[in-house]
Amino acid sequence: MSKSATSFDALLTTARDLAITVVTGQLGPPMAGRMWIGGHSLDAILCPDQSERQVAILIAPGGPGATHIRTGQHTLNAADLIRLAQDAAAAGGSVLQGRLAVLTPATWLKRHDGARHGAGAQATHDAATAAGWPANCGNDPVLFLDDRSVFGLLAQANVGRTVTLLVGTIAA
């Protein structure tokens, strides 16, 4: 008896073919601004050197319950982005593009306000909140895609308890 391929199998094949990062497993609740899959934080997987970069992220609900992480380094081209979009649609997910970065209230202010504010973590947090920093992010470093927290994106996509992410760098 042959085993039929699932949409998750197709996503793994795409990640392997394109040599991009794949992360799948059960989401843990955010702790101190960090999202967790298994015992691994998403920011440590997706931004290990804390550098900001342009990416495409495929977010799809489901996958196996077990954690699966494989990093890739390939830079995506236009044909690769089309393939990601097709696979996302087949898996009931979506593809988002933007700058992936770990931000703090201070780095948010540099990006959105530029004005100098009073010293101290609370004054910085208050100024960042006034400049649009999400209140639920607290004073912690948080993984963002442009101005949207990855936690917020996952909630908006209604991925549930298990998620599959494919992440590839886009040429700037």
> Does residue 6 or residue 76 have the better pLDDT?
76
- Average per-residue pLDDT for the chain: 87
Angle CA 112–30–41, to nearest 5: 90
137 within 8 A of 159, measured Cβ to Cβ: no
Q: At what angle do helices 121-130 and 105-112 cross, to 10 degrees?
A: 40
pTM for the predicted model, two decimal places: 0.88
Confidence of residue 1 (pLDDT cuts 50, 70, 90): very low
Quick count: other Cβ atoms within 10 Å of Cβ 14? 21
pLDDT the model gives residue 3: 52
Averaged over 70-97, what is the pLDDT? 94
Q: Which two tokens stand for residue 31?
A: 């702790």
pLDDT digits (tens, 9 = 90+) for 152-168: 888 887 777 888 999 99
pLDDT the model gives residue 40: 92
Q: Which residues of 88-123 are buried (b: 16+ CB within 10 A; e: fewer)?
A: beebebbbbebbbbbbbbbbbbebbeeeebeeeeee
Averaged over 66-83, what is the pLDDT? 94
Averaged over 108-136, what is the pLDDT? 80
Strand partners, 21: 167
pLDDT digits (tens, 9 = 90+) for 128-154: 888 888 888 888 899 999 999 898 888
